[in-house]
Amino acid sequence: MAPPTSTLLDVAARTVDTVKVYGRNESVVRALDGVTIDFTRGAFTAIMGPSGSGKSTLLHCLAGLDTVTSGEVYIGDTAIAGLSDSDLTLLRRDRLGFVFQTYNLVPTLTAAENIELPLRLAGRRADPAWLETVVAAVGLADRLGHRPAELSGGQQQRVAAARALVTRPEILFADEPTGALDSRSSAELLAFLRRAVDEFGQTIVMVTHDPMAAARADRVVFLADGRIVNEMIAPTTGDILDAMKKLGG
């Protein structure tokens, strides 16, 4: 496991006093209640918290999938709060990568086509050497011609991971990527994400509620009621479980 880096100078993304409010009047929910956090380049960060803690909202706001009510969000040096839908789309396409919990792949496209999708949308082709490296890393070389329906859940998530990596994004966002997988497939996917960080220097921000998954991260951030309440560097599964128990209790 690589040593955690904590230099503030090399920040891939950060939020400053970010607030996200849903609803109006009496039914107001403060999903994010003043979150300020940096995500270091080349680090694997896990965001944890009970249901409704705001962890997914934080990820969505960071990734430009959702807008913040107040505060600032930066990807690298780019403040994304004021970007148009079109700019946000291009930002996601060119600078970010995504792995969602389910439904990551376009059913009509083969695995290979899904992997190349963001590049093709940009009118570009993948660098063949890099594509080969990524495909080899996720262990899908013999599955490239298959459509999603012909792949197992674990394979589908690995295709999604390969797609997220193929553009060499500044940050890979993963939203409960193992949420719908059995333990073996989860382990395979997490091993791949870990390798991406260690071997390719990939920055990863992952939301999860699985302590085993979070334990593969360099750093774990705990959210509760829209606020950061705890943070651990290179914790073990046990450490995380303890922290979660405190939050839950």
Q: Which residues bind other proteins (CB under 8 A)?
A: 56, 60, 65-66, 85-86, 89-90, 92-94, 98, 100-109, 117-118, 120-123, 163, 175-176, 179-180
CB of 226 or CB of 235, closer to other proteins:
226
**At its nearest, how many Å lie between other proteins and the CB of residue 197?**
21
Backbone dihedral angles phi then psi of residue 35, each to the nearest 5 degrees: -95, 125
Place of tokens 């600032």: 72
* Closer Cβ to other proteins, 54 or 118, answer by number: 118
- Using an 8 Å Cβ cutoff, are 218 and 44 in contact? yes
As measured in angstroms, the least distance from the Cβ of 94 to other proteins is: 7
Q: Which is nearer to other proteins, 56 or 186 (CB)?
A: 56
Distance CA 117, CA 123 (A): 10
Task: Compute the least distance from the CB of residue 58 to other proteins, in Å.
Answer: 13
- Rounded to a whole number of angstroms, the minimum distance from the CB of residue 220 to other proteins is 22
Q: What is the DSSP string of 148-207?
A: GGGS-HHHHHHHHHHHHHHT--SEEEEESTTTTS-HHHHHHHHHHHHHHHHHH---EEEE
Judged by CB, which is closer to other proteins: 93, or 198?
A: 93
Nearer to other proteins, 165 or 232 (CB): 165
Consecutive H or E run containing 139: none
Terminal-residue alpha carbon distance, the chain: 31
At closest approach, how far in Å is the CB of 108 from other proteins?
4
On whether the CB atoms of residues 37 and 221 are closer than 8 A, the answer is: yes
